[in-house]
Amino acid sequence: MKLFDFWGGVHPAGHKHLSADQPIRIMPPPARLQIPLQQHTGLPALPVVKVGESVCKGQLLARGQGAVSASVHAPTSGTISAIGDFTAPHVSGLPLPTITLDSDGEDRWLDREPLPDPFALVPEQIAVHIAEAGIVGMGGANFPAALKLNKARQAKVHTLAVNGAECEPYMTCDDRLMRERAAGIVDGVRLMLYALQAPQAVIAIEDNKPDAIISMTAACHGDPQIRVVVVPSRYPAGSAKQLIQLLTGLETPAGGRGTDTGVLVHNVGTAYAVHRALRQAHPLISRIVTISGGAVAEPQNLEAPIGALVEDLLGFCGGVNGEIAKLLMGGPMMGQPLPSRQTPMVKGTNGVLALTAAEAQLTTPSPCIRCGRCVDACPMGLMPLEMSKRARHDDLDGALAFGLIDCISCGSCAYACPSHIPLVQYFEYARGALEAQERAEQKSKETRRLLEQRQARLARAEQAKVEAAAKRLAEKQRAKAAKAGVGVAA
Amino acid sequence: MNLHLPSAPHTHAPDSVPRIMGLVLLAVAPTALYGLILFGWPALNLLLVTVLACLICEAACLSIAGRPVKPSLWDGSALLTGVLLAVSLPPWAPWWIGVLGGFFAIVISKQVFGGIGQNLFNPAMLARVALLVSFPVEMTTWIHPHPLFSSAAPGLLDSLAITFSGISDVDGVSGATILGHVRTQLGMNQTLGQILPEHYQSGIAALGWTGGSIGETAEWLALGGGVWLLWRRVITWQIPVAMIATVAVLAGGFHLLNPDRFADPGLHLLSGGLMLGAFFFATDPVTSPTTPIGQLVFGAGCGALVYIIRTWGGYPEGVAFAIVLMNAATPLIDHYIRPRIYGRTWGGQSRPVKRPPAGSGEAP
Ligand code: SF4
Ligand code: SF4
């Protein structure tokens, strides 16, 4: 298959060997799980259990509400001990509504009835099952998978691109999954193709994962619809926009959807979750997560229950060696720094990194020397130096004019900057300021609307009063005139 | 902003400003060394004086501005400016040329603008232009090669005298550069066929055995250093390639039209410090455009101006003027030439996909 190229990009050191060669280990559920109700784009799920209720593994805990949402299931059996706010895996560290589940240690499944033959269903039905299993994009996008499939079917995509690029340094969860559970992934791909009614799938894998390439190629051998495509290792090849460009040479239009190019991108982890949901009636209650970094005693990949705390994950990997300079959820290019180890992993968590000071490369920024390395590195064709200059001076319109909304926050620019300027931080700051501005505008619009409504109401009342007075006057006059008329007549 | 939880990325390319400056210094080292050997101790004196002046000016400005002196002084930029300025000076120029040059470069062209990253003009080039305009005699005294340890070379003491109290027998040791000579003779209505054979033995000149500024004569070494910088990805190819190619094309075209009046491209490429300018001065990140297309335009502009100034302008050499002029155009280039944003047209509108008909099966 002919490959195209995406723009820019960088070659960060991989550090994948730390965890790439250990098999996936299954982590038993810890004594307590903290399961956030919003692990996806959209509205939080609504709890359907009460405090004190005992639940089985796989039982529905909270149902997705509204058009964009995802259900949440119990990762193990036990008792609901609280429903309240808990630290969320987000940089703000602000709490989110969370269900606390105390494990009973039995890990007892709900009675499950796997479908006899999913391919006997109509395609829409597959999506319904995917939605019921609470599956979201597992590459970090967190968008509800069923919704994405339905929209893509309506848009008549011709290709399902299965993303196994895994371009983030340190991350090896997709690599291990592809090496160990290739057949499951390929089955999931077939199911998704069926749900999409699309003719073909390509599985894109970076060339730094030879074993995954071999096992995936073997697993889809003989299937004319599915093939493995080896893509060069360059960050951010695994970003949906860049992967589409790499595979088709097409660009997702600004403000449009990836499916406008005829391609739908889904992560290999999502394909595997689909396989489990439809073949084993196994909702999304666990995932493969890379626990790595120089400060982790035994870096490896775990299959861990959703809601397990970072503390537990690190503990299961032999604990921490020395001091953690930075604790991240996700890879070093786009991951979130974690405020605390008491943060739960969620459906979109591909890794937890505990970096030493040497790895974290804490540096002090120096002035921009206009070297243009950020421009060369940007896969979106932006001028990060100009954008950051404007963001820093609170010139939001200027930052927008230089493409702030097109920035995918991939971090390539800041990675490449020799002056170590935290470019992405400025962009995030500007975006935050813009959102605040919009909210304020929305609010003042709303106030204005209410005010206008009130004024209109008052005006109507006034009008009514005036009209009533006029009516009364007219009636009086009529009565007078009638009287006078009577008088004249008399 | 929360400094303890900085946003991604949390890893970094093994690159920094001091590293870039260091690599450029390494790349220019062979050229500078060759110049020092070719012109002897006075050239070394001048180099030391110039570099020292730059460092002192930088430190003084930083401390007057109340900014931390050490980190900025150690980023190597003032050191590099000093070396680059020195290699663009006539080798036996008096000490005050180096001091004034350092002052022009660091104080007037850099710190007044706000320090590193803020300057509009390349400090060394602007200083050279200012010196050339103010002190035309000192700045055009081109010494014949006096290689170190040869019989013609001045000794240590003589060298100090040359640098600090002047050359005693100027006419005896100096002459015009090739480009200068060509210009003078053309002015006397001679043809190139008559001028060049006596002065220009291309083989030797190309190897750098000729008069000129410290780093001007060894064009091959400058080219080598430049290619090494490209290979180490310190600079990108757009500016030097566009600049050299433009000079070559213009020189080639005019030479074909009238070989008696217009020198051949070989002469243009291998003299007047074109390589040094193209790889070391025009590529100064601060004063050149940041986008690849902008850099092509900038390089081509430099090349065209070099040729125009050399051929029709008031000075036989045009590299410094050309670069300074294009420096002034850089903000304009960066304003008008921006990359196309992914998913947008050049005008910034959303770019519709030309999608193959659905169901064609073999789409990608
Ligand atoms: S990479 Fe850094 S120093 Fe270079 S132009 Fe961009 S922001 Fe400036
Ligand atoms: S973070 Fe934004 S500006 Fe920086 S390289 Fe990525 S897309 Fe470009």
Helix axes of B41-64 and B77-87: crossing angle, nearest 10 degrees: 140
- How many whole angstroms from A427 Cα to the centroid of ligand 2? 9
* Per-residue pLDDT tens over the stretch A372-431: 999 999 999 999 999 999 999 989 999 999 999 999 999 999 999 999 999 999 999 999
Tell me: ipTM over 0.85: yes
Q: What is the pLDDT of residue B364?
A: 41
Query: For the residues A121-132, what does the mean pLDDT come to?
Result: 93
pLDDT at residue B72 in the model: 82
Mean pLDDT along residues B290-303: 96
Q: Which of A42-46, A337-341, B147-151, B348-352 has the lowest mean pLDDT?
A: B147-151
Q: What confidence score (pLDDT) does residue B2 get?
A: 38
Question: Structural domain boundaries of chain A?
Answer: 17-102+118-301, 365-483
Beta strands in A64-156 (DSSP E): 72-73, 78-87, 95-103
Q: B81: closest CA among B69, B68, B72?
A: B72
Q: What is the pLDDT of residue A335?
A: 92
Q: Report the run of H or E that residue A162 belongs to, with start and end.
A: strand A159-164
pLDDT in tens, A341-371: 999 999 999 999 999 988 888 888 999 999 9
For residue range B122-133, list pLDDT tens digits in order. Answer: 999 999 999 999
Closest CA to A424 of A365, A376, A382, A384: A384
Mean pLDDT of A106-114: 90
Q: What is the pLDDT of residue B180?
A: 78
Q: Which of A252, A378, A402 to mutate to test the pocket of ligand 2 (most atoms within 8 A of CB)?
A: A378
- pLDDT over 70 at A296, yes or no: yes
Q: Which residue of B has its CA nearest to A372?
A: B290
Among positive and negative, which fits the CA dihedral B38, B39, B45, B51? negative
Which distant-in-sequence residues (6+ apart) come within 8 Å of A487 by Cβ? none
- 8 Å CB contact between B213 and B90: yes
The A residues from 197 to 226 touching B (CB cutoff 8 Å) are 199-200, 202
Distance B47 CA to ligand 1 centre (A): 30
Tokens read off for A219: 């697993």
Within 10 angstroms of residue A230's Cβ, the number of other Cβ atoms is 17
Q: How close B354 gets to chain A, by Cα (Å)?
A: 8
A483 vs A208: which has the higher pLDDT: A208
Average pLDDT, chain A: 92
pLDDT at B197: 60
pLDDT of residue B4: 47
Count the residues in chain A.
490
Encoded tokens for B207? 């190897």
CB B30 within 8 A of CB B78: no
> For the residues A323-329, what does the mean pLDDT come to?
92
Residue A348's nearest CA partner among A25, A39, A99, A33 is A39
Would you state the pLDDT for residue B7? 80
Interfacial A residues in 230-259 facing B (CB < 8 Å): 241, 245, 247-248, 250-256
Which of B60, B96, B97 has its CA nearest to residue B78? Answer: B60
Chain B contact for A356, CB < 8 A?
no
- Compute and round to an integer the Cα radius of gyration of chain A: 29
Mean pLDDT of A311-329: 93
Ligand 2 lining (C-beta closer than 6 Å):
A 377-378, 380, 382, 384, 407-413, 423-424
How is domain A17-102+118-301 classified at the CATH fold level?
A: Rossmann fold (3.40.50)
Q: B118 CA distance to ligand 1 centroid (A)?
A: 12
Residues B107/B56, Cβ–Cβ less than 8 Å:
no
Q: Average the pLDDT over A158-187 and give the result.
A: 96
Give the pLDDT score at A483: 73
Helix-, strand-, coil-residue percentages of chain B, each rounded to 5:
60, 0, 40
Task: Give the closest-approach CA distance of A98 to chain B in angstroms.
Answer: 23
Average pLDDT, chain B: 87
Rg (CA), chain B: 23
pLDDT tier for residue A289 given thresholds of 50, 70 and 90: very high
Report pLDDT for A43. Answer: 87
What would the pLDDT profile of B89-102 be if each residue is shown by its tens digit? 999 899 999 999 99
**CA distances to A114, B117, B170, B329 from B165, in Å:** 98, 37, 13, 40
- A350 to chain B, minimum CA–CA distance in Å? 16
A403 — phi, psi (to 5°)?
100, 25
* Cβ neighbourhood burial of A330 (10 Å; 0-12, 13-18, 19+): buried
Closest by CA position to B343, among listed A373, A242, A201: A242
Indicate which residue's Cα is closest to atom 1 of ligand 1: A417
B206-237 burial, b at 16+ Cβ within 10 Å, e below that, comes to: bbbebbbbbbbbbbbbbbbbbebbbeeebbbe
Structural contact between residues B163 and B89, judged by C-beta atoms closer than 8 angstroms: no
Tokens found for residue B364? 């990608």
Q: Are A355 and A295 in contact (CB under 8 A)?
A: yes
Q: Contact at 8 Å (CB) between A329 and A338?
A: yes
Residue to mutate among B2, B4, B11, B81, with most A CBs inside 10 A, is B11
What pLDDT, on a 0 to 100 scale, did the predictor assign at position A116?
87
For residue B343, the chain A residues in CB contact (below 8 A) are 241, 251-256, 406
CA angle B323, B327, B332 (to 5 degrees): 140
Who has greater pLDDT, A186 or B138?
A186
Do the Cβ atoms of B364 and A355 come within 8 Å?
no
Query: Could A418 and B351 be called an inter-chain contact, meaning their C-beta atoms sit closer than 8 Å?
Result: no
Q: Which of A375, A394, A425 to mutate to test the interface with B (most CBs of B within 10 A)?
A: A375
Identify the helix (H) or strand (E) that includes residue B87.
helix B77-87
The answer to whether the peptide bond before residue A236 is cis (omega within 30 degrees of 0) is yes
The answer to whether the CB of A326 is under 6 A from ligand 1 is: no
pLDDT digit string, tens, across residues B182-215: 777 777 777 777 766 655 555 555 566 778 888 8
β-bridge partners, A95 = A87
Q: Could you tell me whether strands A300-305 and A25-26 are parallel, antiparallel, or unpaired per DSSP bridges?
A: parallel
Confidence band, pLDDT 50/70/90 cuts, at residue A318: very high
Q: Is the CB of A372 under 6 A from ligand 1?
A: yes
Query: Nearest chain A Cα to B75, which residue?
Result: A366
The C-alpha angle B1, B3, B9, rounded to 5 degrees, equals 95
Question: For residue B263, what are the CA distances in angstroms to B184, B186, B201, B317, B359?
Answer: 13, 11, 14, 13, 63
| For the CA of A384, the nearest atom of ligand 2 | 3
Is the confidence at residue A28, as pLDDT, over 50?
yes
3-state secondary structure of A392: helix
- Residue A466 confidence (pLDDT) above 90: no
Q: How many CA atoms lie within 13 A of B325 on its CB side?
A: 15
φ, ψ dihedrals at A390, nearest 5°: -75, -40
- Identity (one letter) of the amino acid at B337? I
For residues A345 and A306, give the distance between their C-alpha atoms in angstroms, rounded to a whole number.
6
Looking at residue B182, its amino acid is V
Percent of chain B residues past pLDDT 70, beyond the cut: 91
Nearest one of A278, A236, A274 to A410, comparing CA atoms: A236
**How far is the C-alpha of A1 from the C-alpha of A269, rounded, in Å?**
24
